[in-house]
Amino acid sequence: MRTSGLPRIRTIAIQKFRATGETRVKLSKLFRSKPKKKSTRIQPGTHISDDTVIGEHSYIGSNCSITRTRIGRYVSIANNVSIGQGEHDLSRASTSSLFYDSPYETLTAGECVIESDVWIAVDSIIRRGVTIGTGAVVGANSFVNKDVPPFAIVGGSPARILGYRLDEEKRAALLASRWWELGLEEARQTLSRLEASWATEA
């Protein structure tokens, strides 16, 4: 298969971008140690393209494959998850990327976004062009082929909405707080205040 223009996908080291607070993945031949940026943890055996951006305080498990994706902050991704893999153009005379002028760009067309505070459970697949909304949950072994609203719980193949985390008022309060933009300690305090107010209302 032609590989010109393809980013090299090997293993992982982390570089912090001071201006944006994001973590951009850089790749090295073998994963031998934890990333230098302690707030983001990526486990061995995971492959991430070098044009993927990962927010702070996120976790990615072992044996995941992530391509050309924007991942928010405080995201939890379990083992064996596939996100944004290349998709062949079925409208062409051939499905082989050997006949594409720009294979990587064609295969990875369509923005793939995992917003903040998302939990993706083990063995799930997220298609290109999909956005997973803030606070959403993807159940294990799910195939997600369309956008997921904030705080929705989805599962199955193809994935469908099974319910929502929290009631509408609590979801609105969380979205208004934008706590995921805060550092860990300040975020912890903000969430504690919200949960305390919910307990008072109960």
List, for residues 61-105, the tens digit of each pLDDT value.
999 999 999 999 999 999 999 999 998 988 888 989 898 888 888
Q: Tokens standing for 167?
A: 């009631």
List, for residues 118-142, the tens digit of each pLDDT value.
999 999 999 999 999 999 999 999 9
- Whether 57 sits among the annotated catalytic residues: the reply is no
Query: What's the pLDDT score for residue 54?
Result: 94
Q: Tokens standing for 187?
A: 């975020």
Those residues with Cβ within 8 angstroms of residue 192's Cβ, 6 or more apart along the chain or in another chain: none
Among 16, 34, 47, 88, the one annotated catalytic:
88
How long a stretch of residues is the chain? 202
pTM value is: 0.80
Mean pLDDT taken over the chain: 84
DSSP code string of 24-92: EEE--S---S--S-TTSEE-TT-EE-TT-EEETT-EE-TT-EE-SEEE-SS-EE-TT-EES-----TTS
CATH architecture of the domain formed by 13-165: 3 Solenoid (2.160)
Nearest to 106 by CA among 68, 54, 52, 144: 68
Average pLDDT over residues 9-28: 41
Residue 167, pLDDT > 50, answer yes
Residue 1: Cβ within 10 Å count:
7
Query: What's the pLDDT score for residue 202?
Result: 63
Average pLDDT over residues 152-174: 96
Give the phi and the psi of residue 20 in degrees, each rounded to 5.
Answer: -110, -15
Least trusted range by pLDDT, from 8-12, 13-17, 28-32, 198-202: 28-32
- The rounded distance, in Å, linking the Cα atoms of 26 and 13 is 5
